[in-house]
Structure 1
Amino acid sequence: MNRNQLLLMTAILEGGLLLAGGIGCWLMDIPLLEEMSLSGGAVLWSLVATLPMLSVLVITEVIPWKGFEEINNLLEHKLLPIFRKLNWFDLLLVSLAAGIGEEVFFRGFLQALLAEWVPSWAAIAIASLCFGLAHPITKWYFVIVTIIGVYLGILFWRTENLVIPILVHAVYDWIVLSYLVYRPAKEKGESEEAPSEE
């Protein structure tokens, strides 16, 4: 898969989630836009709220556990070769697309819809399980992503501002992807160079 194909696939997948979430909110009378407020405070809150999620990256990198090694091995040999075709701006676009598309669908639509029928904790749990199932890289990756989904769901529930989980998700993805793609070759155990800054 080349750069353009990856960007197109991202646009289709994440755009599809955004569209599905938006249409779902419209059909179910969920006030999506009323749940979004971009402000300096929301941006600052989002940056701070990204820090606990980054601990996941640190933990998976430093703790020698079979589940983490399985995730890292799969990322290194299957996914990162694709992402290494992207420059830093492409990674930012992919991260923003994921943050917007996935959060609008899983939190803005699904969690909000479920919260009309079940307690908030159950809505968060179900939406997070669905979020995890949408990331079936390995069973342990599913578990980690589900936990991240719970965290993002709680952020949305507590702040009542979808912009915060969108930004947290996007910033987290961008930092993690950038780190994994651009980290020094000796840490990767290979001599492959990081992508160019084109």
Structure 2
Amino acid sequence: MNKSSFHPDDFFKKACAFEASLILVAALLGWIANINPFADLNFSESAIACGVIGTIPLFLMFLLLEQIQAEPVIKIKNMLFQTLGPSLHRYHWTDLFILAAIAGLSEELLFRGVIQPWMESSWGIPAALIGSNIIFGLVHAVTPLYAVLAALVGIYLSLSLDYGGDRNLLIPIIIHGLYDFLAFVALMRAYRASLLTGSGQ
């Protein structure tokens, strides 16, 4: 894939609109399943702290993958670099923060706020943990390895829901959004550096 799948000039608006539309999908599925996606969303200082701290292992994993030279990992890195790099490098970090925040909120409302509890009500917690995150992995399946990694990240996010004993959707929302932001910034910086050295696509 040699060119971006997104037009760089309108990437931000389209990406934000797409991610925000998932909130409507969550609301619709929640209405069908009689589940309020916002029911377990509780604001507290401890939840914010857990979310920030919980982002660290995921970002360390991201940095570790950056050092791995195995072909499947290189394929993922090249794909992200070539598809997102030309778009992300045009924006300020505040734009990337907004996009990441919307993605964290919308995807967590959908997967951890509706799909997982919906499955829990029918199949129980262990099956819902696995089943909901297989779906999470599949919708991120840009490559087979990426789908597996996304599913594992999804399991991590699902487990963070009940950290401390009380279910709180704010924790995975913060982890997801903050991780996406850090990954976006890292990708943006790498692409800008490639332009300076003449190696950008």
* Unaligned segments of structure 2, at least 5 residues: 1-6
Match of 1:163?
A: 170
Contact 1:17-1:101 within 8 A present in 2 as well: yes
Match of 1:40?
A: 45
Contact 2:130-2:155 within 8 A present in 1 as well: yes
- Following TM superposition, by how much is the alpha carbon of 1:60 offset from its aligned partner in structure 2, in angstroms? 0.9
- Following TM superposition, by how much is the alpha carbon of 1:169 offset from its aligned partner in structure 2, in angstroms? 0.2
TM-score, normalised to structure 1, is 0.88
What amino acid sits opposite 1:47 in the alignment? V
TM-score, normalised to structure 2, is 0.87
| Percentage of matched positions with identical amino acids | 25
Where has structure 1 moved over 3 Å in runs of 4 or more?
Answer: 183-186
- How many equivalent pairs are there? 192
| Separation (CA, whole Å) in 2 of partners of 1:184 and 1:63 | 18
- Following TM superposition, by how much is the alpha carbon of 1:17 offset from its aligned partner in structure 2, in angstroms? 1.0
- Following TM superposition, by how much is the alpha carbon of 1:12 offset from its aligned partner in structure 2, in angstroms? 2.5
Match of 1:26?
A: 31
Residues 25, 192 of structure 1: alpha-carbon distance in 2 compared, 3 angstrom cutoff: farther
Residues 65, 146 of structure 1: alpha-carbon distance in 2 compared, 3 angstrom cutoff: same
Match of 1:110?
A: 115
- Following TM superposition, by how much is the alpha carbon of 1:64 offset from its aligned partner in structure 2, in angstroms? 1.8
Contact 1:91-1:174 within 8 A present in 2 as well: yes
Match of 1:2?
A: 8
Contact 2:93-2:185 within 8 A present in 1 as well: yes
For the aligned residue pairs, the C-alpha RMSD in angstroms reads: 2.2
Contact 1:45-1:164 within 8 A present in 2 as well: yes
Residues 35, 42 of structure 1: alpha-carbon distance in 2 compared, 3 angstrom cutoff: same
* Unaligned segments of structure 1, at least 5 residues: none
Contact 2:105-2:173 within 8 A present in 1 as well: yes
Question: Do residues 147 (structure 1) and 152 (structure 2) align?
Answer: yes
**Mean CA deviation greater in 29-38 or 113-122:** 29-38
